[in-house]
Amino acid sequence: MKSRFDRYVVLGMAVVMAMMLAGGCAPVRVTEQYQKFNRIYVGWMHLGENNWKRYGYGTRGEWIDDIRSENIDSLQSYTRGYMKGWNVIGADSRTSPIPWDPNTLVILFSDVSLNGNQLRCKMSFYDGGTRRLLYHRYEQPSPISYNPYGGWSNASFTGQLSNSMYGIAYDIKYYLTTD
C-alpha cells in the first residue's frame, strides 16, 4: 500500500463486507400497522400429501419430504432472509399449533392449489393476540424466476415450487415493510 489513506480505504471496505456477511444489510423497516409485533409466525402451506403420483413422485414419502422441505427450507428460510432483524418462526408440520400471542404476527395459507407447476394460495395476516384478520390476498407467484444467488433458477418441478416459495416470501416482506 502506498499511503495511509489506501490502508484506511481497504480496512473500511473489509469492515463493511464483514458486517454484510455477518448480518446482512440493515433490518427492514416495518409499516406502522405491523410495528407492534416482534415475531412472525409462518404457517404451513398444505400442498396435498396424496397428490404424489400427480407430480411424478415415486412414493408418497418422497413427496411428503419435499413438502416439508418447501415449507421449512424454502418458505420459512426465505422469509427469515427477507425479514432481517425479526424473529421469524414457522410450523414444523401441518398439525403444528399456532402461537396465538399478542407479540406475534401470524401468517396463514389457505385455498392452496398446485396446477402443474403453478402455485396459488390465499395468504392471511392475523393479529396473534386478538386473532383478528389484518390483511389477506391471493398469491400466484411466477414458477420460474431469476435466482438472486446467480443465474436462472432450476426449471425442475421442485425448483419451480421453490421459486414460488421465494416469491411468496418476497411478497410477505413487500406487504409488511416500507423498504
Query: What pLDDT score does 9 carry?
Result: 52
Domains of the chain: residue spans and CATH: 28-176 (3.30.160)
The dihedral of CA 145, 169, 69, 161: what is its sign?
negative
In angstroms, the CA 31 to CA 40 distance is 14
Query: What pLDDT score does 21 carry?
Result: 44
Model confidence band, residue 23 (pLDDT cutoffs 50, 70, 90): very low
Q: For 10-19, 62-71, 139-148, 149-158, which range has the lowest pLDDT when averaged over its residues?
A: 10-19
Query: What pLDDT score does 157 carry?
Result: 78
- Report CA-CA distances (Å) from 41 to 46, 49, 108, 121: 15, 22, 8, 17
CB 140 within 8 Å of CB 118? yes
Beta bridge partners of 177: 30
Model confidence band, residue 114 (pLDDT cutoffs 50, 70, 90): confident
Query: What pLDDT score does 120 carry?
Result: 93
Specify the 3-state DSSP secondary structure of 177. Answer: strand
Query: What pLDDT score does 159 carry?
Result: 80
Query: What pLDDT score does 99 carry?
Result: 96
- pTM for this structure? 0.78
Query: What pLDDT score does 77 carry?
Result: 96
The residue-averaged pLDDT of 50-76 equals: 93
Strands (E), the chain: 39-42, 87-90, 104-115, 118-127, 133-139
